Amino acid sequence: MNYSVFVKIVVLLCCGATALVQAAEPLSRDEIETAINAAYAAYKDLQEGANADYIPALAKVNPALYGIALVTPDGAVYSAGDVKSEVSIQSISKVFTMALVMDEKGPASISGNMGVDATGQVFNSIVAVEQHQGAEMNPLVNAGAITATSMVSGGTREEIWSKILNYYNAFAGRALRVNEEVFASEAATNQRNQAIAKLMYAYGHIKGNPDQATDIYTEQCSVSVNARDLAIMAATLANGGRNPVTGVQAMKNENVPEVLAVMATAGLYDDSGKWLYLTGLPAKSGVGGGIIAVSPGRFGIAVISPPLDAAGNSVRAQKAIAAISNALNGNPYEVEPAM
C-alpha cells in the first residue's frame, strides 16, 4: 500500500467514526411508547383553551377529542388516545399546498412572490399585507397561503382541486375527503379572506381569479383528517418527502428543506419563535386543533385536541409534542460534541 492510499483509508475511517458519533441513536419501540403514553396521561385532564368559533362549525367539535400519533421513517405507527376521529385540517393544509407549488415551480417561486419571512402580525393580518404591498409575507399566513393556492396550475377549478387533494392523499397514504359542513360554514363567513385575496391580486401576487383562489383555499382547509393521517403526513416530511408507510415519494426530495424552514419560521402563528426555542421542531398548527411537528430523519408527530390558546395553537398538542420530543431527543439542534 502506498502512502497516499494509506492516508485516504485513515481519513475515511476517521470520518466514519465521526459520523457514527454524530448520528442519533435509533429510537426503541419501548422508548417511543413510554413517551407517548406518559404525555397522553399527563395532559388528558387539562382543561385550558377554547375551540375556535370564528368559523361556526368548529365551535361544535368535541373539545375532549385528544389523540397522539407518531410515525418513524421505517413506517412504524405509534399512538395513544383517539386517532380515528377527524377534524378539519385548516392551516396545516398550507404546508402541503406550499410544497405542491415548490414541486411545480421551484422554491424561488414562493420566496420571490409572497416571501418567506415571519410577518410579526396575526395570520390573517391586513396590516401585514399593506406594510409591504403583499411581499415579505410567507405561505403559512392567509395572504401567502391563498396566493400559493392561486399558483397551482390547472385549466379548470376541478383540475386544480383534484391535483391539490391527490397531493395531500399521497402524504396521508389514503383518500381524504372534505368535511362539507365545515367548508360551507367557512365559505359563508370568509369575507376577510376574500378581501385579503383581492389585495394580493391588486398588488400583483395573485395573477388569476382571487375569488376562485379563496374558494379553493377554503376547501383545502376543510379536508378531514385524524391524528394518524397527520402523523403520516409529518413523517413523510421527516423522511425526505417519501411516505414511510406506503413508500410513495409524495414530494420532491430537494424541496423538503425549504418547506421545513418556512414551518420553523412561521408554523405556530405569533408563537412560532417561542415554539422553535422550546422544541427546535418545524411544525404547523391549525385552528381545527391539530399540530404536526417534524424531527428530520427521526419522526413525524401529530396531536389533535381542539381547545386553542390565545395565539390559536392547541394547548394539549403543544404540551404533548414538546414532552414527547424532549423525551426522545427530537430537537435537531441538539448535537453531542464530536470530541
In the complex, the residues that contact ligand GLU under the rule CB under 6 A are 90-91, 123-124, 142, 186, 193, 221, 286-287, 312
Q: Distance between CA atoms of 254 and 242, rounded to whole angstroms?
A: 11
How is the beta sheet containing 290-295 ordered, strand by strand? 77-81, 67-71, 299-304, 290-295, 283-285
Least CB distance to ligand GLU at residue 328 (A): 27
Say if residues 152 and 101 touch (Cβ distance below 8 Å).
Answer: yes
Least CB distance to ligand GLU at residue 33 (A): 30
Least CB distance to ligand GLU at residue 195 (A): 12
Strands (E), the chain: 67-71, 77-81, 87-88, 177-178, 223-225, 283-285, 290-295, 299-304
Closer to ligand GLU by CB, 35 or 172: give it. Answer: 172
Beta-bridge partners for 249: 242
Closer to ligand GLU by CB, 219 or 258: give it. Answer: 219
Closer to ligand GLU by CB, 122 or 327: give it. Answer: 122
Least CB distance to ligand GLU at residue 292 (A): 12
Residue owning grid cell 383553551: 49
Closer to ligand GLU by CB, 29 or 192: give it. Answer: 192
Least CB distance to ligand GLU at residue 338 (A): 41
Closer to ligand GLU by CB, 80 or 233: give it. Answer: 233
Least CB distance to ligand GLU at residue 162 (A): 20
Closer to ligand GLU by CB, 123 or 201: give it. Answer: 123
- C-alpha 206: how far from chain center: 23
73 DSSP assignment: T
- DSSP codes of every residue in 142-201: HHHHHHHHHHS--SSHHHHHHHHHHHHHHHHTS--EE-HHHHHHHHTT-HHHHHHHHHHH
Query: By beta-carbon distance, which residue lies closest to ligand GLU?
Result: 91
